[in-house]
Every structure is written in C-alpha cells, then in structure tokens.
Amino acid sequence: MAHAEREGLACGRLTIDLEALADNWRSLAERTQQTECGAAIKGDGYGTGLEKAAATLSRAGCRTLFTAVPDEGLRARSAAPESRVFVLAGLLPGAAEAYRKGGLIPVLNCPDEVIEWAEYCAAAGQRLPAAIHLDTGMNRMGLSLEEARLIAAAKDVVARFDLVLVMSHLVCGGDPANPLNARQLERFHEMTALFPGVPRSLANSPGIFLGADYHFDVARPGISLYGGRAMDDGENPMRPVVTAEARVLITHSAAKGETVGYGAVETLRRDSRIAIVGIGYADGYHRLAGAGGGHKPANAWVNGHVVPLVGRVSMDLIALDVTDVPEADCSRGDWVEMFGPHIPVDDVAAKAGTIGYELLTGLGSRYTRTYIGGS
C-alpha cells in the first residue's frame, strides 16, 4: 500500500524531522567543543526509529552511539557501520561471541561481567573493546568504589581486553543547584583515577548543559537530540523533532451541564462544540493528560488555535473543546497537533505527570510515519 493511501486510512500520524535531529546533534557538539559528542539512540531512537536516527546522526558526523540492549546495537551497526556502538545493558551471560561477531562494545556493569569478558578475550586471543560503568551515586548499574578498586588492582584481568571508556551517569543533572551533581563529579574523578589514561564519559544531555567540568572525553546526549527538555527550568534550545497528530473524526455540540467521556469527570460549563480525534492511550498518549487528574488538561493545536482536552483520554479517542474555533478551522478529517512545534512534548508530559522521554519512547504502532529532511 502506498504511503499516501496508508495515511488516508490512518487516525494518527507522526512527522519526524531528521534535519532537526542532525541540527540538534551539531548544536550539542558545538557546546561540547573538544569533547567528542556521541548519541544515545536507545528506545528505538527515542521513538523516531533507531535505524533512521543512527544513519542521520552518522551523516551529521557522530561516530559513537549508545544503545540499551544488544538487538538495538546490531541494528545500529547495520545502519551506521562506521560508528562505535556501546551496549549499556552490559554483557549478557554467555553472549560474548555474539557481541564480537556483531562488533558491539559491552558496557561492563559488575565484576562478573568484567571477568567474563576478560576470559572470553583471553580464549579468543583478542583484546576486544569494552567500557566500564562506575556507580557514582545512581545505585542502579556500575561498579561500586570498592569493586572498582579491586578490578583496577587486578591488572592481569583488565589487560586482557581493550578498555576504551570509563563512564558514569548523573542522577540530578537537570537541576544545576542540586549538590549531588558536585558529589558525583568528585566521586567520578576519584574512581576514574583508578584507570589512568582511559577516556571518560559522564555527561548525558543535562550534563552537557552543566558545563565543561562535566564533559570529559565523550558526551552522550539523548533527550536533547530529539527535541526534549534536558534541564528542569529555563528555555529549551533544541528544535522539536517529532510531531504527533490526530485526525478529527467528528464534531458535535454538547449542552452546558453535560459530561464528556468516561467517569463523567468533567462537566461542561457552557454550551460547547466538541471534536473527537482518533488517538488515545493505545497510541502512547497518556491517559492522565486528560481531565480527572486534579489539574488542567493538556492542550492541542488545530489550524492556528490552541484547544484544551476535555474529559478523560480513552484507548482510541480524545475529546477536544473547540467551541472557540471557527467551524471552518476544525472539521471532520482535519489534523490536530497533539505535540510538536506548537505544543511542546514536555508540556503534554507535565500534564500527565511524566516526562517527554516516556511520551516519545511509548509512541504506538498505529501511526503512519513521514520522515522529512533526511538525505
């Protein structure tokens, strides 16, 4: 089926601006200056399509990619064969040969992974690359200080593979005033001193905005590449990459005092015109962005007009209050921006009590996708 025909049958569509993705990477690379700027493309390229994201970033000049799981790593290697590809989930048990064949670089997160990779490299007669993850305060993945000391002291173990990176992850980087940032930075200096001469990586998207002290040798931005907000406050300087739209299925009138949607959580305060659009939480648009959560619902944008959601978000349908929109500007078949250049994804996420990451990575399979700006 041709793309135009598929879109004609779709109730939701995504437009993904690959040139904006490339521009965002170039902007972040300018901020990091002498630090290599890599890219996190996990979560299917934050919902943009992993292969498209990897190829676009590679063409822009990115040479280091970070994926979450091995399958993502293999897909990234296929799309960007000139790039280094790190697997943040680490070395899965018994999978070292598959990592070698796939050209994947495991991020070793515990002593057992370090030993297994070292033993595999010794048996294969190759010093294959790996990274070591250091836990500086997240208490999620990575070697503790004591474990790092033991591994660093076991020089015969580390010498069996090529240690190309030591890294850690910021807990509160989006809040520059949080004292944990400085404590993590101090701990990172302490722990990486155990591995002298090895390139270091600490800065994710927020870390880049925290300044040069956090940049080290390799930065690995994620959400900022895809247009999301990295810092808790202030303007977001990144270009939006993903536009999610829903088709108007019907419009109808409803009288003051009537309720809209499940649970009757919202009562109309005036005679209203309601537009029903064809996406919902099955498409990754969060239920809590609608009414009933104790806050004002999210907004959408239709032909130059900002309109609020009304009632609860359903699995497949969302109601919008278009009373103040001329009928000619909102009628059956029109497309409504649910988030994108006019409705920032982080604004919608905030209404739903979540973050832009979750909306982007949770985009459903029913949208048609259009890519623009790619070569």
Task: Give pLDDT, residue 200.
Answer: 98
Rounded average pLDDT over 340-368:
96
Residue 86 predicted with pLDDT over 80: yes
In terms of C-beta density within 10 A (0-12 exposed, 13-18 middle, 19 or more buried), how is residue 236 classed? Answer: middle
| CATH code at 242-372 | 2.40.37.10
Name the average pLDDT for the chain.
96
Helix, strand or coil for residue 366? coil
How many CA atoms does the CB half-sphere of 207 hold within 13 Å?
Answer: 27
Active site residue 214: no
Rounded average pLDDT over 146-151:
98
Cα–Cα distance, 136 to 142 (Å, whole number): 8
Residue 1 predicted with pLDDT over 90: no
Task: Give pLDDT, residue 375.
Answer: 63
Residue 317 predicted with pLDDT over 90: yes
How many CA atoms does the CB half-sphere of 84 hold within 13 Å?
Answer: 19
**DSSP 8-state class, residue 319:** E
Of 218, 213, 157, the closest CA to residue 185 belongs to 213
Residue 72 predicted with pLDDT over 90: yes
Cα–Cα distance, 318 to 248 (Å, whole number): 10
216: its two tokens: 């080290």
Catalytic residue among 120, 155, 256, 262: 262
Residue 294 predicted with pLDDT over 80: no
Place of tokens 């895809």: 226
**18-226 under CATH 3.20.20.10, yes or no:** yes
What are the boundaries of each domain within the chain? 18-226, 242-372
pLDDT bin (cut points 50, 70, 90) of residue 140 is: very high
In Å, how far are 212, 221, 240, 294, 307 from 66, measured between CA atoms?
A: 21, 9, 21, 38, 38
Active site residue 262: yes
Catalytic residue among 42, 226, 285, 351: 42
The per-residue pLDDT for range 19-68, each reduced to its tens digit, is: 999 999 999 999 999 999 999 999 999 999 999 999 999 999 999 999 99
Task: Give pLDDT, residue 256.
Answer: 97
pLDDT bin (cut points 50, 70, 90) of residue 9 is: confident
